[in-house]
Amino acid sequence: MESAQEAFSGNMKEYWGQPKAEQVNRELRTFYGEPITEALCVDAACSGNPGTLEYRGVILPEGKEVFRRGPYPKGTTNIVEFLAIATGLVWLKQNNSSLQLYSDSITGIKWVKMKRINTKLEWTESNKTLFEVVEKAIDWLHENGYDNKILKWETEAWGEIPADFGRK
């Protein structure tokens, strides 16, 4: 309804002339609002699933990378997204920061809040280091509290998360 009212309140030809993606993006931005401009954004990259993975954290608004981990062999996207968020929380706590944390992974956010992972990936000799890091992250989450909000980055409204590796 809001979109229709906007079209009819102005120059309809200009509104209709916009590519559909721009209309959708504008509507989603209206729905979600704008992202917080000062935050820690985390993201992961995985070549294959399972595959080689890495993750990093970037501070907004500067876009400065503050941590990067990996590569780790034979992991999954969900595991590495979980690790990105957990490592982000550790970084925020170590730096006594009250920044909010953004992730584009619903599963990663859920796993961090549950303080465990839910994967079918089996622990093997080739991914032993990865699973050791996961265990440390889970232990940290059980032993530490944090006040930072973990927020979902709305990619369809705002574009790729600033910590994205740009490999799509």
What pTM was estimated for this model as a whole?
0.84
Per residue in 78-111, pLDDT (tens digit) is 999 999 999 999 999 999 999 999 999 999 999 9
CA angle 157, 115, 55 (to 5 degrees): 50
The answer to whether 83 and 55 are in contact (CB under 8 A) is yes
DSSP structure string for 19-84:
-HHHHHHHHHHHHH-PPPSSEEEEEEEEEETTEEEEEEEEEETTTEEEEEEEEEEEE-HHHHHHHH
